[in-house]
């Protein structure tokens, strides 16, 4: 279980070398996306206004305050359940060369396969740990599509962001699948007396 | 006795402060449960699970130090209010004060507004609305005090709610099978390690209400006073933790910190079982008011 520091933009080999249960921290910039952001990109077919090549995307809808100069100040930034946004993952990887998704609760086999094929990883953050996350996000650098507030396209500058656990790697392995299969196996043996 | 007229204003302020406190300050029994979880994972030598438990505790420390929200989800406000039977109160005004307090917390702190119409999804912007806050009223004999418990119930765990009207012939075995199935289906989504609340008996609505009461208002480390029910709590906790789902669903021995069961009598041909999950943050705040509106925090 190695420890890594990732500094985006990432290249394919940066994520191919990561293994399940490795620990990751991020320095640099990451993008915030949620349901509405991706509906605009994939369903409404509007090209994202930022270059996502090699990007790390966080599943979030931040709590922010708009300042008089038009910039945004963070209030509480946490992570939302990724499973809902599963269907967008193949597109993010194939079309835009996104290399990593940060979220909670995992993704399905469709995404596991996409990550194996295009070279991407899923990094599990501790869900609900927003106090820490908010502190590690140093600044909201840019916001696009603020009509979707809070589900805009966000650019954050982060320092020591994590710890994150490699929960789906770029070789077809998923920690969620492993845990679930084991749980199914074990519950089958319960006698419930 | 009639309480002093100031009591309704006092209730409004307490409701506001309880909402904010519950989001910032994790209760001591939940902190202790999380620390026990960390120890258990360390003993197993599970680095991933220990790391997650450490991060959770670290997050609570940061929220303490910086007076920030522990988690971004400001939830739906739920109150449990036990009114002393000796108090001759206007209960409509009591509920109205709680509602105003929630709206004030939302505007003054400020808190993320979550409350929307179920069809139009239109925001009220206040974290109050039709039926919100949820207020569960109860009455205590021989008392002239008001006991308040407040929980801003987060959606990741609330979405993991289940009800089944089992056959009476399925008995305890059926109950266990259903509960384990619910936990298996929930997996990583309610942010484990979780607190599992179970409501047994009653009618369907009572069972769901008891499950919420068990997951959200019961303190960790307590048991149901009925020895048979308490035994079922222990047995279920053991089974759930044997699944190995673990912290954040990434594997480990701490899937749940507690299984709490509340029960009511039911019909000869019914066997209702309700499950409601609370996430690791176990958010809850408590205070008590006397008839003059003086507040003591717990
Ligand atoms: S499930 Fe609970 S801890 Fe997790 S994000 Fe939701 S409210 Fe926060």
Query: Please, which residues 104-163 of chain B have a Cβ atom closer than 8 Å to chain A?
Result: 110, 112, 154, 156
Q: Is the dihedral of CA A124, B177, B278, B185 positive or negative?
A: positive
> How confident is the model over B116-132, as a mean pLDDT?
96
Q: Containing H/E element for B173?
A: helix B171-186
Q: How many angstroms separate the CA atoms of A27 and B59, rounded?
A: 19
Q: Does A128 sit in the ligand 1 pocket, CB within 6 Å? A: yes
Mean pLDDT of chain B: 97
Question: What secondary structure letter does DSSP report for B247?
Answer: G
Chain A residues in contact with B191 (beta carbon < 8 A): 104, 127-128
Residue A193 has pLDDT above 80, yes or no: no
pLDDT category, A164, cuts 50, 70, 90?
very high
Q: And the tokens for A4?
A: 């890594």
Chain A residues in contact with B231 (beta carbon < 8 A): none
Please list, in sequence order, all residues whose beta carbon lies within 8 angstroms of the beta carbon of residue B177, skipping any fewer than 6 positions away.
A190, A192, B170
The answer to whether the Cβ–Cβ distance between B62 and A124 falls below 8 Å is: no
Chain B closest CA to A50's CA: distance in Å? Answer: 26
Please list, in sequence order, all residues whose beta carbon lies within 8 angstroms of the beta carbon of residue B249, skipping any fewer than 6 positions away.
A105, A106, A176, A179, B187, B188, B189, B192
Residue A61 pLDDT: 87
The answer to whether the CB of B119 falls within 8 A of the CB of B38 is no
Q: How many angstroms separate the CA atoms of A73 and A31, rounded?
A: 16
Mean pLDDT of chain A: 96
- B55 in A contact zone (CB under 8 Å): yes
Q: How many angstroms separate the CA atoms of B7 and A181, rounded?
A: 55
- A50: phi then psi, degrees, rounded to nearest 5: -130, 155
Q: pTM for the full model?
A: 0.96
Domain borders along chain A are 3-189
Q: Does B206 sit in the ligand 1 pocket, CB within 6 Å? A: no
The answer to whether the Cβ–Cβ distance between A128 and B154 falls below 8 Å is: yes
For residue B71, how far is its CA from the centre of ligand 1 (angstroms)? 6
pLDDT category, B245, cuts 50, 70, 90?
very high
> How confident is the model over B179-200, as a mean pLDDT?
97
Residue B209 pLDDT: 98
The answer to whether the Cβ–Cβ distance between B69 and A135 falls below 8 Å is: no
> How confident is the model over B139-145, as a mean pLDDT?
97
Query: Please, which residues 115-144 of chain A have a Cβ atom closer than 8 Å to chain B?
Result: 124, 126-132, 134-135
CATH architecture for residues A3-189: Alpha-Beta Barrel (3.20)
CA distances, B178 to each of B135, B205, B226 (Å)? 28, 18, 21
Residue A191 pLDDT: 84
Residue B249 has pLDDT above 90, yes or no: yes
ipTM, 2 decimals? 0.96
The answer to whether the CB of A52 falls within 8 A of the CB of A73 is no
> How confident is the model over A159-171, as a mean pLDDT?
98
Q: How many angstroms separate the CA atoms of A157 and A159, rounded?
A: 7
Residue B104 pLDDT: 98
Name the closest-CA residue to atom 3, ligand 1: A128
Label the pairing between strands B285-289 and B146-153: antiparallel
Query: Please, which residues 1-30 of chain B have a Cβ atom closer than 8 Å to chain A?
Result: none
Q: How many angstroms separate the CA atoms of A29 and A138, rounded?
A: 10
Q: How many angstroms separate the CA atoms of A149 and B192, rounded?
A: 29
Residue B298 pLDDT: 86
pLDDT tens-digit series, residues B88-118: 999 999 999 999 999 999 999 999 999 999 9
Domain borders along chain B are 7-23+70-154+283-297, 156-278
Most informative mutation of B74, B157, B189, B257 for ligand 1 (most atoms within 8 A of CB): B157
For residue A40, how far is its CA from the centre of ligand 1 (angstroms)? 26
Residue B186 pLDDT: 97
C-alpha A164, offset from chain centre: 10
pLDDT tens-digit series, residues A109-160: 999 999 999 999 999 999 999 999 999 999 999 999 999 999 999 999 999 9
Residue B122 has pLDDT above 90, yes or no: yes
Q: How many angstroms separate the CA atoms of B66 and B130, rounded?
A: 34
CATH 3.30.1330: does it fit domain B7-23+70-154+283-297? yes
Expressed in percent and rounded to 5, the helix, strand and coil fractions of chain A are 35, 35, 35
- B52 in A contact zone (CB under 8 Å): yes
pLDDT tens-digit series, residues B254-275: 999 999 999 999 999 999 999 9
pLDDT tens-digit series, residues B46-64: 999 999 999 999 999 999 9
- A84 in B contact zone (CB under 8 Å): no
Residue B192 pLDDT: 98
Residue A192 pLDDT: 82
Q: How many angstroms separate the CA atoms of B263 and B210, rounded?
A: 7
Interhelix angle B171-186/A175-189, nearest 10 degrees: 170
Chain A residues in contact with B121 (beta carbon < 8 A): none
Residue A37 has pLDDT above 90, yes or no: yes
- A3 in B contact zone (CB under 8 Å): no
Q: How many angstroms separate the CA atoms of B224 and A127, rounded?
A: 30
Name the closest-CA residue to atom 6, ligand 1: B156
Chain A residues in contact with B59 (beta carbon < 8 A): 126, 128-132
Q: Which of A25, A23, A28 is nearest to A9 (CA)?
A: A28
Name the closest-CA residue to atom 4, ligand 1: A128
Q: How many angstroms separate the CA atoms of A78 and B257, rounded?
A: 23
> How confident is the model over B131-156, as a mean pLDDT?
97
Residue A58: CB atoms within 10 Å: 29
Chain B residues in contact with A134 (beta carbon < 8 A): 68
Task: Answer with the residue of higher pLDDT: A192 or A24.
Answer: A24
Label the pairing between strands A72-76 and A100-103: unpaired
Residue B213 has pLDDT above 80, yes or no: yes
Label the pairing between strands B134-140 and B76-84: parallel
DSSP E strands, chain A = 3-6, 23-33, 56-59, 63-66, 72-76, 100-103, 121-124, 137-144, 153-168
Q: Name the residue in chain B with its Cα closest to that of A78.
A: B72
Q: Is B148 exposed, middle or buried (0-12, 13-18, 19+ CB in 10 A)?
A: buried
Residue A1 pLDDT: 86
Q: A32: helix, coil or strand?
A: strand
């Amino acid at each position: 279980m190695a420890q890594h520091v990732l500094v985006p933009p990432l290249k394919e080999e940066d994520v191919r070398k990561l293994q399940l249960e490795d620990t990751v921290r991020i320095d640099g910039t990451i993008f915030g996306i949620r349901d509405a952001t991706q509906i605009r990109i994939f369903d409404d077919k509007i090209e994202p206004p930022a270059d996502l090549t090699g990007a790390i995307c966080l599943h979030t809808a931040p709590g922010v305050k708009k300042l008089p100069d038009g910039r945004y100040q963070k209030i509480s930034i946490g992570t939302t359940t990724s499973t809902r946004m599963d269907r967008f993952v193949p597109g993010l990887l194939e079309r835009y060369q996104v290399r990593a998704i940060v979220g909670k609760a995992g993704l399905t086999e469709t995404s596991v396969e996409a990550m194996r094929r295009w070279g991407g990883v899923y990094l599990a953050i501790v869900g609900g740990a927003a106090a820490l996350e908010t502190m590690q996000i140093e600044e909201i650098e840019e916001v696009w599509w603020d009509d979707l507030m809070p589900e805009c396209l966000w650019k954050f500058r982060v320092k020591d962001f994590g710890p994150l656990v490699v929960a789906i790697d770029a070789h077809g392995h998923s920690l969620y699948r492993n845990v679930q299969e084991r749980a199914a196996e074990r519950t089958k043996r319960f006698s419930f007396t | 006795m009639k309480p002093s007229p100031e009591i309704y204003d006092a209730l409004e302020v307490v409701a506001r402060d309880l909402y904010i406190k519950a989001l910032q300050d994790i209760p001591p029994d939940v902190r202790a449960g999380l620390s026990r979880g960390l120890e258990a994972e360390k003993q197993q030598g599970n680095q991933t699970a220990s790391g997650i438990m450490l991060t959770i505790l670290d997050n609570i420390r940061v929220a303490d130090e910086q007076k920030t929200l522990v988690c971004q989800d400001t939830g739906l406000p739920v109150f449990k209010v036990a009114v002393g039977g000796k108090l001759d109160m206007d209960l409509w005004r009591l509920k109205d004060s709680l509602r105003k307090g929630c709206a004030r917390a939302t505007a003054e702190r400020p808190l993320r507004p979550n409350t929307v119409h179920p069809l139009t999804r239109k925001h009220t912007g206040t974290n109050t609305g039709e039926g919100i806050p949820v207020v569960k009223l109860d009455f205590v004999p021989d008392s002239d005090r008001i006991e308040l418990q407040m929980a801003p119930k987060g959606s990741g765990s609330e979405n993991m709610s289940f009800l089944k009207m089992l056959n009476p012939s399925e008995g305890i075995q059926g109950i266990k099978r259903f509960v384990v199935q619910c936990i298996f289906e929930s997996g990583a989504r309610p942010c484990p390690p979780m607190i599992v609340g179970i409501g047994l008996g009653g009618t369907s609505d009572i069972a769901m209400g008891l499950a919420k009461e068990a997951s959200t208002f019961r303190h960790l480390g307590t048991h149901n006073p009925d020895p048979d029910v308490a035994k079922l709590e222990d047995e279920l906790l053991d089974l759930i933790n044997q699944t190995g789902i673990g912290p954040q669903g990434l594997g480990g021995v701490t899937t749940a910190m507690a299984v709490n069961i509340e029960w009511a009598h039911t019909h000869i041909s019914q066997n209702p079982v309700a499950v409601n999950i609370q996430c690791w943050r176990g958010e809850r705040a408590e205070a008590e008011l006397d008839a003059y509106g003086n507040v003591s925090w717990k």
